[in-house]
Structure 1
């Protein structure tokens, strides 16, 4: 059947050169295709042939002369390069432009960004608020329900999703976003863990993910991440508590109002690293690759403390005395 269509196209093409069909074909090429209603999209199912596609576009009001579209595809050598997917049909688009979009696979895609340092619940809120991925109300599901839907029953979701910008077709769901981010984190974490430095004070890739999430929350300056990773590595090696505020805040949950009080530092939550020894039980945010790398490649040195300067950077100290001076200068002086 295909060779017959090709033969007819060749005959038709020859006829174009010698008669009025040529003028009509040129008019077809220069006339904009119709924009389907109510939505300007062309959805091509997998396995659709050129002839079936031309008939579909005629039914949907995109083409008035579908046989000319078949001729165009053969003349362009594109008859076997139809790609499934959903395509935007723009006003003023010519048949050749639409054919090019279809054969190049330029399907409709929408972007969504999961931000480094945000919590899992904040990521869900981002998805639910997106104009194309919203509607699933993922935030209404429990952590256990969501992880079961993703095929990871029993796993804690925090930190399991890689923060990045993702492109999806229009029919994607919020769960598709989570699944892709989860699979990406699996790959990134495995890659980084396989290249880790020796003699780290952590034993598993999951512990690296926990530590990376703390590093992510402690600084937004890329150049500081290895240094902060070094402080935490040395504290763990020496049996010191991590004493990091972001873990306290995470353990407080919705009770956190922007301030950490002395009572909060003493509260025995599973995440309060002023109280517990070692790492908290789960990550506290979505860490990026740089934070994961810093957890697995901590900077060498002798600093055991750091304090924020107030401009996003930190002062690193070797001794408690040096640290207390830095606290008085950069923290207590602000309140005084």
Structure 2
């Protein structure tokens, strides 16, 4: 597959993930759409190309050239029919030069996808950026670009729930077994298994798995000299974090590592109690800067959070002491024994009359 050699990015309209809607792109269509955006002329939405070029650049070449061209042609026509591009050519899309224009208006489209296993519909709107380094990392592997793009959107948007297996199946348009295989094969995702718990009926269940993206794998941007060349500061910091509580919570992560994000109770508590040295050092650096800051209120925020933290610790300690006292009192009582002696029943008496 053709690697992108410039630090650039594209934008995927989120309706492209809209399972059950007219805008949903299949895996091939999404790959071609992403590729076309990288290939467009600077400052325009126009591309002039040929299906054979697309096939070669996407790594779709097999021993059957005709079938390869059909695959690319079908993806292009799908993008056209769903409104993502305008496609002009003379004669056969698989044989002649193509003039393509990307429809930027699709980023404004909205859609709702309904499934029988969720009461409320999924809402798709806006767009998700994909960096060239992420595009390269997804590579030629089937479905990996779709996984990368969807994870980016769901990870950055304000969702209250993780991506469940059923949702992945809808996005990839595959069965459960194949979907799990693909997710597990994505080297840029690390699965954090959901915790097991008992519901009110005593039945054991498991929380939804979560996925942490890592950009630590080399992406070969011009045979990259340093693996973090095209990563932002926060992404580089994220790779050094080992505390799952910080990794899986974008809000807490930014409170500790992002200078522009304010500290709140959950972030302060996570920093105080982390065993990750990198998180501990980053949080301390930010706290020190706040204490020295000339901005009104910065020092007050730190003092207030620390006071609240210490008060909660004391409250917790008091609760533990009370629990120990009650346990000691309980153990101090002598066991009460009834004077009544139950009649001994011999096992064979159950069978005498049989």
Q: TM-score range by the shorter chain?
A: under 0.3
Which structure features the higher share of strand residues? 2
TM-score, length basis structure 1: 0.25
TM-score, length basis structure 2: 0.24
